[in-house]
Chain A
Amino acid sequence: MGILIYGTINSVALALMALGFALVYGISRLPNFGHGALYVVTGFITWSFFRGLGVNYLISIPISIIIIGIIGALIYQFILIRVRGMATSEIIASYAIGVAILEGLRWGGFKGMTYTLPVFLEGSIDIGGIPVDFHRMIVVGAGAGVVIFLWFFTHHTRIGLALRGMAQDERASLMLGIDSDFMAVVAMGFGSALAGLAAVLLLPLGNIVVESGYNVLILAIAVCIVGGLGSWMGAVIAAFLIGFAQILTVVYLGSHFQMVVALLAIILTLILRPSGLFGRQKELEERV
C-alpha cells in the first residue's frame, strides 16, 4: 500500500518535471538541457519574493512562474534561435546556459540547507494506514490538473492547436500562416513556466539546492526518452513506469540506486527502442 501511494506521488512529481522538457522538444525539436536550471531558478525567485521582499506566498508563486516563462522565452529568442535545427549545437548551447545559471547561483551563495519554501498546507492524513501529508496530495492533484489543462489547451485553443500543428509538420503549418519562430518562442516560454510550476510544487518538500538542477534534468530526460521524445502522453506514462521502478528499488535495494534506475532506463531505451515506448519518429532518422 505504501509502495502504491508513494509510487504514485513520485510518478506525478516526475511527470511534472518532465512535461516542460517534453513540450519544448515536441514543438521546436530543442532538447532543452537548461531545463534543470530553470527549475532551480524558479525556486530562488519564489524564495526571494517570499523571504526577501516579504510578498505573500500565494502571490509570489504565480509571479515567479510568469517571470521564469518570460526568462525562458527570452533565452530562446535571443540565443537559442540562432542555432535552431543544429541538434548538437542546441544541446551544447542550452546545457552551457544551464550550467552558467546554476554555477552562478552557487557562486552567489545559494547553497546549503538554509533555503526552504514552506509547504502549502501543514498536516497529514492516513490513507490505508499510511500517513500522507497534505502537500503531497496537492502535488498529485496539481499534476493531474496540469495534464488535463495541457490536453485542453492543445486541443481547444488557437495557440495550442498551432503548437500541435508545428509539432506534427512544420512546413505545412508555415503554409497555413503559423509563425514557426514565434511559436517556438511561445513553446519555450510554456516549457519554462511548466518547469517553474514543478519547482514551486516540489521544492517545498526539500531544500532548494543547486544540485537538484542537474538531477531534475536527468530525470526529465529519462522520462521523455522512455516515453518517446516529443510524445506528451508517453511522457506521463513513462513517468509512472520510472516512478514506480524507483520506489521499488528504494524499498528492495536501497536509496543509492534511485538515480541508477533513471540512467539505466535512458541507456536501455535508447539502445533497444530509440523512439521510446510511444514515440512516432521514423526508424531511419534515429538509427542506421
Chain B
Amino acid sequence: MEERRKERLDRGIKIRTDKIYALMSWRELSYLTMPRLVLIVGILMLPFVVPGMYWQRVISIVCVYALLALIFDFLAHFVGLVSLGGAFFIGVGGYLAAILNTSAGLPPIVTIPLAALIGAAICTVLLLPCLPLRGVYFAIVTLMYPLVAARIIEALDILGGTDGIMGVESFSSTWTEQYFIILMTLLFLFGIRRLVNMDIGLVFRAVKDNDQAVRASGINITLYKAIAVFIASGVGCLSGACLVHIYMWSGISLFSLDFSILPIAATVIGGAGTLVGPVLGCFILVPISELLRAFGTLRIVFYSLILVAFIVFRSEGIMVYGQRKYHQFERWVKI
C-alpha cells in the first residue's frame, strides 16, 4: 500500500500579512480583519436576531459564561494556573454586588465595577497562599474554594444563609443588560488578547513554560501570578455581579459547580489557548444546554459526554482547527 502523509503549508497571503505589506491591498486587509469583524458584528447583532425575551436572556447568560471561559483559558494556557474555581469568582462578585446594591443602595452601574475591583482584591488575597502550588495541586485547591465558601455561608447562616439575598435591582432594560455585558465580553476578549502579547504577557507565558528560568532572571514569580489572578478574578467578579443583577437575586447557587465546569467544557470544545475559542464554545454549549432543558439533568450527562469525547479524542478544539484551515493549505503527499 502506498503510504501518504498530510503536508501543511502556510498560505501566501498569511505570510504576506504577517509583515507590513498587510496594508497594501484591500484583499489582504480583509484577510486580516474579516474574522474579527465577523465575530464582533455577529455578537453585536445577536440581540436583534434571536426570537423573544427568553432567548435574549440566554444571550446575557452566555456572555457571563463566556467571560468565565475566557479567564479560565487565560489563567490555564497563558499563566499556567489551572483554576477549577470559576464559581468562586462568580460567587464573590455576585454577593458583593448584591450587598452593595441592597445595603448601600448603589445603582448597578456603580456596583458592578466596584464589585469587580473589591472582588478581585479579595480573591487575590485569598488565593495568594496557593499561588506557589503547581499543576494538579492548584487545580484541586481552587476546586475546593467555592465549595467551602458555600458550606461556610450555609453553616454560619450569614449573608442570607440558604435563602440568599433577595430584591437586587435589575438593569434598566433588557437592551442595556444585553449590550452592557456583550460589550464587556468583547472588551475583555480583545483586551486580554492584547495583554498576552505585551511584555507582561511574555512574562506570564514564561512563568507557565519554565518558572525556574523566570526566577533565575530575577523576576518575582508569585507577584506576576498574583497580577494575573487579580486581572482574571476581576473579570470573573464582574460577570458574577452582572449575573446577580440579571437574576435580581444572589444565593449559594452562585458557588455551584456549573460555573466551574461549563467554562472548562467550552474551552476544551472551542480550542484551548486561543482566547476566542472559549467564547465561541460558550455560544455553542450554553444554548444547547438551554434547548435540552426539557430533559432535566440529562443535559448535564450530554455535555459531560461531549466534554469527555472532545478532551480524549479531539483535544485541539474548534478554533485551532478553524485557524489551521484558514491559514494553511493541506494536501496529501507521497512519502
Residues of A that sit less than 8 Å from B by CB: 31, 79-80, 82-83, 87-89, 91-93, 95-97, 99-100, 103-104, 106-107, 218, 221, 225, 254, 256-257, 259-260, 263-264, 266-267, 270-271, 274, 285-288
* Number of A-B residue pairs with CB-CB distance less than 8 Å in the complex they form: 121
- B interface residues with partner A (beta carbon < 8 Å): 76, 82, 84, 129-130, 132-137, 139-141, 144-145, 147-148, 151-152, 154-155, 211-212, 215, 221-222, 261, 264-265, 268, 295-298, 300-301, 304-305, 307-308, 311-313, 315
Contact (A260, B148) CB under 8 Å given A97-B308, A100-B305: yes
A263 partner residues in chain B, CB cutoff 8 A: 144, 147-148, 151
Determine whether the beta carbon of B148 is less than 8 Å from that of A287: no
Contact B76 A88 (CB under 8 A): yes
Q: Could you say which residues of chain B place their CB within 8 Å of the CB of A95?
A: 261
If A88-B82, A103-B298, A286-B133 are given as contacts, then 16 extra A-B residue pairs at C-beta distance below 8 Å, sorted by A number, are A80-B312, A88-B136, A91-B136, A93-B312, A96-B304, A97-B308, A99-B261, A99-B300, A99-B304, A100-B308, A103-B300, A104-B301, A218-B144, A267-B130, A267-B141, A287-B137
B136 x A106 contact (CB < 8 A): no
Contact between chains at A88 and B147 (CB < 8 Å): no
- The answer to whether A97 and B304 touch across the interface, beta carbons within 8 angstroms, is yes
Residues of chain B within 8 A (CB-CB) of A97 are 304, 308
Alpha-carbon gap, A271 to B148, bound state (A):
15
Contact, CB under 8 Å: A274 / B133: yes
Instruction: Chain B residues near A83: list those with CB within 8 A.
Output: 311-312, 315
- 8 A-B contact pairs sorted by A residue (CB < 8 Å): A100-B300, A218-B144, A256-B151, A266-B140, A266-B144, A270-B137, A287-B137, A288-B211
Residues of B within 8 A of A107 (CB): 295-298, 301
Chain B residues within an 8 Å CB radius of A100: 300-301, 304-305, 308
B308 interface neighbour in A79, A267, A274, Cβ under 8 Å: A79
**Could you tell me if B141 and A88 are in contact, using CB atoms closer than 8 angstroms?**
no
Which chain A positions have C-beta within 8 A of B222? 288
Among A31, A79, A88, A264, the one with the most B-chain Cβ atoms within 10 Å of its Cβ is A88
Q: In the complex, what's the smallest C-beta–C-beta distance from A251 to chain B, in angstroms?
A: 15
Closest beta carbon of chain A to B82's beta carbon, Å? 5
CB proximity of B147 to chain A, nearest CB, Å = 6
Contacts of A266 in B (CB 8 A): 140-141, 144
Q: Which residues of the other chain, B, contact A270 by a CB distance below 8 angstroms?
A: 130, 133, 137, 140-141
CA distance A257 to B155 in the complex (A): 6
5 smallest CB-CB distances across A and B, nearest first, come from A256-B155, A100-B304, A263-B148, A103-B300, A287-B132
| Cβ-defined contact, A31 with B261, below 8 A | no
Query: In the assembled complex, which residues on chain A have CB atoms less than 8 Å from the CB atom of B82?
Result: 88
Assembly CA distance A256 to B211 (angstroms): 41
- Chain B residues closer than 8 Å to A221, beta-carbon distance: 140
